């Protein structure tokens, strides 16, 4: 098994935050600049089915999102909080294969810098990390949907990994816990709407 000199670091911004990859030897909360996190990706294999796909998050470059999102209710947010995981080099190949399979529904790999705060100053805490992104040209990308319609869809969808709303709730809770300043208005607004549906219609 080949061991590379450069550490293999993966940035998780979705389910990887609350369900980390195996063989992690270090994890650091941090954020990306110039991206937004949106429920803009169909999920045929985890939080929905091929016939009734759910919705999961992807990263979108801020300038790309501005171009096709129309009336995005959170236009000023361009920082995405998540976790940078350093993988044990002995298991790099195994973890790459695991993540490639787990993120197979339309995701591709991008190399990014993860930012954070060190000694009271903003700094890159994980340079040249890898992350999985559902680019706008992938077949599972659905783009921007009205937030009330999106919340309704998430609330109703279920897949092999469980209810779509549970994915939303776990992710929102995990993001809140990352750091005192971590936030995501898109996630919080969807959570509020889905909790309201729970109260009005009963949890399913």
- Rounded Cα distance, 83 and 157, in Å: 26
Please write the tens of the pLDDT for every residue from 82-129.
999 999 999 999 999 999 988 887 788 999 999 998 888 899 999 999
Active site residue 103: yes
> At 1, is the pLDDT very low, low, confident or very high (cuts 50, 70, 90)?
very low
Average pLDDT rounded to a whole number, residues 72-88 = 87
Query: Which residue is catalytic, options 5, 51, 63, 103?
Result: 103
Query: CATH second-level architecture of 8-199?
Result: Roll (3.10)
Identify which of 16, 47, 40, 42 has the alpha carbon closest to the alpha carbon of residue 29. 16
**How far, in whole angstroms, is CA 38 from its chain's centroid?**
8
């Amino acid at each position: 098994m080949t061991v590379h000199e450069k550490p293999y670091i993966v940035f998780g911004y979705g389910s990887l935050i609350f369900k980390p990859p195996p063989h992690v030897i270090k994890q650091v909360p941090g954020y990306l600049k110039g991206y937004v996190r949106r429920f803009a990706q169909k999920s045929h294999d985890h939080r929905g089915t091929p016939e009734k796909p759910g919705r999961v998050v992807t990263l979108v470059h801020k300038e790309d999102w501005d171009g096709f999102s129309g009336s995005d209710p959170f236009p000023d947010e361009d920082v995405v909080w998540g976790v940078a995981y350093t993988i044990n080099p002995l298991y790099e190949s195994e973890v790459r294969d695991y993540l490639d399979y787990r993120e197979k529904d339309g995701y591709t790999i991008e190399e990014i810098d993860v930012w954070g705060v060190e000694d009271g100053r903003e700094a890159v805490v994980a340079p040249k990390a890898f992350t999985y992104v559902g680019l706008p040209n992938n077949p599972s990308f659905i783009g921007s949907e009205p937030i009330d319609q999106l919340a309704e869809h998430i609330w109703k969808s279920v897949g092999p990994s469980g209810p779509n709303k549970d994915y939303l709730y776990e992710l929102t809770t995990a993001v809140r816990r990352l750091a005192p300043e971590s936030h995501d208005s898109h996630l919080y607004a969807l959570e509020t709407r889905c909790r309201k549906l729970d109260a009005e219609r009963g949890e399913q």
